[in-house]
Chains A and B, each alone.
Chain A
Amino acid sequence: MRNQTVKAAVLVAGALLLAACGTNKEETGAGGGNQACDQSKGTLVIGVIAPQSGGLSALGLGIKNSAQLAADQANEKCAVKGYKLAVQTEDDQATAQVGAQAATRLSSNANVVGVVGTLNSSVAQSVQPILKGKNIVMVSPANTNPSLTRGAEYGTAPKRGFENYFRVCATDDLQGPFAAKYLVGKAGKKNIAIITDGKTYGKGLAAEFQKQAEKDGAKIAAQGTVGEKDTDFAGVIGTIKGSNPDAVYYGGEYPQAGPLSKQMKDAGLNIPVMGGDGIYDDKFIDLGGKEGDLATSVGAPTDTLPSAKAFVDAYNAKNYKDKFSAYGAFSYDATNAIIASLGKTLGDAGTWGDDKRADLIKNVGEYSAQGATGEIKFDQYGDSTNKLLTVYKVTAGKWAADETGTFGG
């Protein structure tokens, strides 16, 4: 009996490990109604798929609120004649499988015109085909993995996989090399260790970084991988410590990167950690990011860009509980791209239906406007034509912009 209980418990524990699952929360934001507009034809929904809980929720909540802001403004301006716009947010918990459920739920609703999201490239991989099946346009504020638009052979033989998919941010094949130029060229680091979280985004970004860093004459001293749920990084720090690196490039996100930076210092490795847009959040510093740590992020700094000021002011005026974070402005632009294209598709008297979806995708492809993050326009693969990137550095406990530019090979 005793052994049976232990055996049963072992089995249950194993099953739990395999399927560490959570719950889905559904939130439907109501748009601010302006009775002056004609909204007689009903409500159209813009879906948002982003993490609303878990480690990456700071980024996901910023995406949700900014999309809500864009929809509210559109309702006030009667941007879509005859319809009221609403935002429906689905929590993907930063996992591909939950993201697929969210996409399925949204695509079963005929009133969903388009989707803003996802945050994670790995989630986008599972969401793309589901939305494509229903011809729903998807504009990501934050996916930076290049293969999402240009296929697995993006470097040599780019091929567009999903004509319904667009994104408003620059990709990792620019971001990684941009970081390498800075770290090797400007900061003079020649013996760099690379740590990744093994996910689509982190691995892809680190690989692009490595290519350029080696080209620029740096040595990759060691490589390591951390587990997604790990909180104690002493093991992986031990594996890189022996090679005496002078910097660590981290491919992944801030919930791991912040504690990693702190624990490196504890382990006697007081060297800067550099990462991509996934660690560019204030939470990184709260969780242990130290002075001198670096991050690249897409676009120019939101607070300094003149085109972003209107967005920042409007966001702050709404008194959202959460900050707009790294992707708020991108989410705002992505939502506006969908709304403006929807207005164009329906015209003054159009009625929404599945037959309008192809037109909507075409109109998003041709969309061009000045957004909060600069010019918003898409190339033939659905990538943003805006290739601006910025290096940020932790200075006096805050991220401060250090260098803005484009990667020129």
Chain B
Amino acid sequence: MATLLQQLVNGLVLGGLIALIALGYTMVYGIIQLINFAHGEVFMVGGFASLATYSYVLPDSWKSDWWVALPLMAIGGALVAVILSVIVERFAYRPLRNAPRLAPLITALGVSVVLKEAVRLWYPGATAPVPFPRVFVDKQFTLEVFGGTVTIGSTALLMIAVSIIGAIALQTYITKSRMGRAMRATAQDPDTARLMGVNPNRTIVLTFVIGAALAGIAGVLYGIQITNVDTEVGFLYGIFAFTAAVLGGVGSIKGAVIGGFAIGIVKTLSGQYMWGGTQYDLVWIFVILIAVLVFRPQGLFGEPERVRA
């Protein structure tokens, strides 16, 4: 029983990270129907950028206090991720706005390879995993339950908290704010939105900016939780997040978050209880994904296909 609880907790922590990245996938898809495969790489770049902020920008005297260092690292990571994302949108995706859908999809794959190799070649030591400082309260909480113990670290709690707060804030912004309404309008019908005075390009860039900022923050959280960053993680977590977005229904914010947590929990529980153990835990994630797509192609919270005139 304690093991089950521990694995649920592990799943929530992993799920929180996946959810933060999945939000970027789902928003970009919602507005321009592009599966932005480079988004996982933006997350990875965010991790490296926050590490660079720590190593090369912050003065030594600031590094000991996490409430100074961590927010600055998050800002550094998110800022670089946002700038990168805006550049990618401007030069790789915008010229293909009216091209067949497959063209931007393949472009996204290309961008993802470029970003990964660029970091690998240019960041010092990035050909191998680079150690990441645990710039947060390094404390473990252990609970006695059902004759066993469940342990959760402070960084893990932070991860869950940030992902949930991030999703709620995003949902509020999109439903309540003026820019959020513009986003929804552009998603529904970009041409009509333009006639109503919405600038679609500005709205689309803002969508990329929000997604990238969340991915950048996810990069910092990943770093302090796992205590290293590697150029490979962008691809791996990008696939997790993409799967979460599809599972929850691409375009839906609630879906991305629930999809993320579902994938985290499926991964840890199947590693514990299913055949093959942790070696085959990824298999079960995709089994679930396929099952959902067969019976509910639009995902758990997605809207069914609208036919556009």
The interface of chain A, by Cβ under 8 A from chain B, is: 1-10, 12-14, 16-17, 20, 23, 52-58, 198, 224-227, 229-232, 234-236, 238-239, 241-242, 255, 258-259, 262-263, 266-268, 283, 286-288
Are B3 and A242 within 8 A (Cβ)? yes
Indicate whether B35 reaches chain A with its CB closer than 8 angstroms: yes
Which partner residue on chain A sits nearest B149 by CB separation? A268
Contact (A235, B281) CB under 8 Å given A241-B6, A242-B148: yes
Determine if A287 and B131 form an interchain contact, defined as CB atoms under 8 angstroms apart.
yes
Would you list the 8 A-B pairs with minimal beta carbon distance, nearest first? Answer: A268-B151, A234-B10, A225-B279, A235-B271, A9-B35, A236-B278, A235-B268, A242-B3
Chain B nearest Cβ from A151, distance in angstroms = 26
B245 to A, closest residue via Cβ:
A6
Cross-chain contact A259 with B226 (CB below 8 angstroms) = yes
Contacts of B289 on A, CB cut-off 8 Å?
Answer: 10
Enumerate 9 A-B pairs (CB-CB under 8 Å) in ascending A order: A2-B33, A6-B35, A6-B297, A12-B105, A54-B128, A55-B128, A258-B228, A266-B153, A287-B129
Q: A238 touching B10 by the CB < 8 A rule?
A: yes
B33 CB to nearest A CB, Å: 6
User: Bound state CA distance, A238 and B140, in angstroms?
Assistant: 15
Q: Are A225 and B13 in touch, CB under 8 angstroms? A: no
Is A242 a contact of B2 with CB atoms below 8 Å? Answer: yes
CB distance from B286 to the nearest CB of A (A): 8
B226 A232 Cβ-Cβ under 8 A: yes
Contact partner of A231 (CB less than 8 A), chosen from B37, B140, B226, is B226
Question: Of A4, A234, A288, which is within 8 A of B268 by CB?
Answer: A234
B127 touching A5, Cβ below 8 Å: no
Q: Are B140 and A268 in contact (CB under 8 A)?
A: yes
Known contacts A53-B127, A255-B129; decide if A239 and B305 are in contact (CB<8 Å). no
Contact of B305 among A1, A232, A255, A258 (CB under 8 A): A1
B293 part of interface (Cβ distance < 8 Å): yes
Whether B227 contacts A262 by the Cβ 8 Å rule is yes
A8's contact among B102, B226, B298, by CB below 8 Å, is which?
B102
A2 partner residues in chain B, CB cutoff 8 A? 33, 305-306
Contact B101 A5 (CB under 8 A): yes
Is residue B246 contacting chain A, with contact meaning CB distance below 8 A?
yes
Other than the given A2-B306, A241-B3, A268-B151, 10 more pairs (CB < 8 A) read A2-B33, A3-B305, A5-B105, A7-B293, A16-B235, A23-B117, A234-B268, A235-B267, A239-B277, A287-B131
From residue A145, how far is it (CB to closest CB) to chain B in Å? Answer: 19
- B170 is an interface residue with CB less than 8 A from chain A: no
CB within 8 Å of A: which B52-81 residues: none
Kindly identify, within residues 98 to 155 of chain B, every residue whose CB is under 8 Å from any CB belonging to chain A.
101-102, 105, 109, 117, 120, 127-129, 131, 140, 142, 148-149, 151, 153
Is B41 located at the chain interface by the 8 A CB criterion? no
The answer on a CB contact under 8 Å between A57 and B128 is yes
Q: How far is the CB of B245 from chain A (nearest CB, A)?
A: 9
Per-residue contact bits, chain B 29-62, to A (CB 8 Å; 1 contact, 0 not): 0000101010000000000000000000000000
Assembled-state Cα–Cα distance A20/B242 (Å) = 16
Residue B88, interface by CB 8 Å: no
Q: Are B101 and A10 in contact (CB under 8 A)?
A: no
The interface residues of chain B lying within 8 Å CB-to-CB of A229 are 232, 236
CB closest residue in chain A, given B5: A238
B101 touching A225 by the CB < 8 A rule?
no
Return chain B residues, CB-CB under 8 Å to A263: 226
| Contact bitstring B243-260, A, C-beta under 8 A = 1, else 0 | 100100010000000000
Q: State whether A266 touches B151 (Cβ < 8 A).
A: yes
How far does the alpha carbon of A236 sit from the alpha carbon of B279 in the complex, in Å? Answer: 9
Are A57 and B228 closer than 8 Å at their CB atoms? Answer: no
Instruction: Judge whether B278 and A239 touch: CB under 8 Å.
Output: yes
Most B Cβ at <10 Å: residue of A13, A52, A242: A13
- Residue of B whose beta carbon sits closest to that of A265: B140
Q: A239-B272, A241-B6 are in contact. Are A288 and B246 (CB under 8 A)?
A: no
Nearest CB of B to A33, in Å: 29
Give the interface of B toward A (CB within 8 A). Answer: 2-3, 6-7, 10, 13-14, 33, 35, 37, 101-102, 105, 109, 117, 120, 127-129, 131, 140, 142, 148-149, 151, 153, 156, 225-228, 230, 232-233, 235-236, 239, 242-243, 246, 250, 267-268, 271-272, 277-279, 281-282, 286, 289, 293, 297-298, 305-306, 308
Contact of B277 among A225, A258, A288 (CB under 8 A): A225
Select B230's contact among A23, A231, A267, beta carbons within 8 Å: A231
Checking B142, B225, B239 against A17 with a beta-carbon cut-off of 8 angstroms, the contacting residue is: B239
Q: Which of B7, B101, B279, B298 contacts A238 (CB 8 A)?
A: B7
User: How far, in whole Å, are A348 and B142 apart by their CA atoms in the complex?
Assistant: 73
Q: How far is the CA of A43 from the CA of B68 in the complex (A)?
A: 59
A196 nearest in chain B by CB position: B279
Contact flag A1-B101 (CB < 8 Å), given A231-B228, A235-B7, A259-B228: yes
B227–A55 contact, CB under 8 A? no
- State the CA gap A13–B106 with chains docked (Å): 11
Contacts of A231 in B (CB 8 A): 129, 226, 228, 230, 233, 236
Judge whether A55 and B268 touch: CB under 8 Å.
no
| A135 CB, min distance to chain B CBs, angstroms | 34
Which residues from chain B contact A288 at a C-beta distance below 8 Å? 131, 227-228
Residues of A within 8 A of B281 (CB): 227, 235
CA distance A286 to B133 in the complex (A): 10
Partner of B298, one of A3, A20, A56, A198: A3
Q: Which chain B residue lies CB-closest to A226?
A: B278
Chain A residues within 8 Å of B10, by CB? 234-235, 238
Q: For residue B221, give the distance in angstroms from its CB to the closest CB of chain A.
A: 12
Instruction: Give bound CA distance, A3 to B236, whole Å.
Output: 23
| Chain A residues, Cβ within 8 Å of B127 | 52-54, 57
Q: B41: shortest Cβ distance to chain A, in Å?
A: 13
Q: Which of A10, A225, A238 has the most CB of B within 10 A?
A: A238
Chain A: minimal CB distance from B192 (Å)? 18
Query: Which residues does chain B contribute within 8 Å of A58, judged by CB atoms?
Result: 128
Q: B37 to chain A: which residues have CB within 8 Å?
A: 9, 12-13
B3 adjacent to A13 (CB under 8 Å): no
Give every chain B residue within 8 A of A258 (Cβ-Cβ): 228
CA distance A231 to B130 in the complex (A): 12
B109→A12 contact, CB < 8 A: yes
Cross-interface CB contact of B120 among A53, A232, A283, A287, cutoff 8 Å: A53
Residues of A within 8 A of B308 (CB): 1
Distance, CA A9 to CA B305, complexed state (A): 16
Q: Which of A1, A9, A266 is in CB contact (< 8 Å) with B242? A: A9
